[in-house]
Amino acid sequence: MNTQTSVHRLRARPINLSARLVRLTGRGVVHITLIGLAIVWLVPSLGLFITSWRSPADIAASGWWTALFQPRYTASNYVDVLTARGLGQSFVNSFLITVPATVIPITVAALAGYAFAWLKFRGRDTLFLIVLALMIIPLQMTWVPVLRMFNDPVGYFGLGGVPFLSDLDLRLTGSFVGIWLAHTAYGLPFAIFLLRNFFIGLPRELLESAKIDGASDFGIFRRIALPLSIPAIASLTIFQFMWVWNDLLNALIFLQDVTKRPLTVSINALLGSYGTEWHILAAGAFVTMSVPLLVFFSLQRYFVRGITAGAIKG
């Protein structure tokens, strides 16, 4: 390798005392830099976290840092946001949105990813390149037409003249079905991409011998490909779950029923009406964060893998 030879050409020097001193101060700089950065990264969340456990009077009277030394904490802000401010319902809504919007796309993507990896059909590779390109399309390109479709599905597809159909109220903006479908479609390109790349890495001999033993395509998918892909599917599930749980924009656009708001939309609304009432906002923010943080700390390995792989979705 090129770099290696050029490195060896550098003149060797004995390591003396002064070099060791330099190295020692060097280590000091490393520690100071890292600890400094850690503090900068921790302080913002820590401040809001402590604030969420302080009474409104205390918050107004002194900074949150004083509570580090004179701890006086209360859970009343959390009780308040979960009951009086309606975040309890939003918490339930977030789950009602997120669980189907995670399960459906991964099921659909697993089937498609398997076909793109191991089955033959006309135009397969071209179609896969299109899926790849769709991964980067800004969602802005889709919002207006999709919202029009949700507002009037029958009219959108030009079926207004069909009897019965035109009498039905199929509007999707007030139901969870619309947002499930939207998240499913938006999550598919990345999910298909990831699973296809995982499936194609499976040992070919294994699948071929199953075929020779008389297994059907679907049998191979269900009994061999799926069980072997549990790690990839786990990472993907966590990624999609977090993406939907943390999503504000799609919920804001496609869910127009106030009683069905997820946490992100409710917090955004609270910011509008209680812009500086930190006891409400702090507790609310940590209610939203609780689930992602819990998932992160319990499933860190899968988590980092999933998020890193899907970094450009959106």
Partner 1 sequence: MAIGKRKWTSWLYVLPALLLLAVFLVLPTIQTFWLSLHSGTGFSPTKFVGPDNYIRLLTQDRFFLKVDEWPPSGALVNNVLWLVLFTTGTVGLGLLIAVLADRVRYETIIKAIIFVPMVISATAASVIFRFVYSPDTNAGVINAFLTRLFPDLAPIPWLGRADLVNVAVIGAGVWIFTGLAMTVLSAAYKSLDREVLEAAAVDGASGWQIFWRIILPMLSGPIVVVTITMVINALKMLDLVLVMTQGGPRNASRTIAFSMFWEVFNNSLAGYGSAIAVILLILVAPVIVFQVRRFRAEEALR
Nearest distance from residue 308's CB to partner 1, in Å? 5
Window 226 to 245, contacts with partner 1 (CB under 8 A)? 242, 245
Sequence-ordered list of residues with C-beta below 8 angstroms from that of 64, at least 6 positions apart, any chain: 47, 48, 50, 51, 54
Residue 217 identity (one-letter amino acid): D
* Residue span binding partner 1 (CB under 8 A) among the ranges 82-90, 161-169, 227-235, 278-286: 278-286
Residue count of the chain: 314
- Asked if residue 162 binds partner 1 (CB under 8 A), the reply is no
Pick the binder of partner 1 from 17, 121, 164, 230 (CB under 8 A).
121
Distance between first and last Cα of the chain: 40
Pick the binder of partner 1 from 67, 172, 282, 302 (CB under 8 A).
282
- Asked if residue 223 binds partner 1 (CB under 8 A), the reply is no
Q: Count the neighbouring beta carbons within 10 Å of the beta carbon of residue 103.
A: 15
- For 21, list phi and psi in degrees, rounded to 5: -60, -45
- Asked if residue 168 binds partner 1 (CB under 8 A), the reply is no
Per-position x/- string for 10-49, each x denoting binding to partner 1 as judged by CB under 8 A, each - no binding:
xxxx------------xx--xx-xx--xx--xxxxx-xx-
Sequence-ordered list of residues with C-beta below 8 angstroms from that of 314, at least 6 positions apart, any chain: 138, 139
* Rounded CA separation 253/250 (Å): 5
Window 69 to 98, contacts with partner 1 (CB under 8 A)? none
Nearest distance from residue 167's CB to partner 1, in Å? 22
Residue 98 identity (one-letter amino acid): T
Q: Which residue's CB is nearer to partner 1, number 163 or number 218?
A: 218
Pick the binder of partner 1 from 87, 97, 281, 302 (CB under 8 A).
281
CB contact at 8 A, 67 and 88 = no
Residue with tokens 């209360």: 74
Pick the binder of partner 1 from 81, 87, 172, 181 (CB under 8 A).
181
Pick the binder of partner 1 from 106, 115, 179, 233 (CB under 8 A).
115
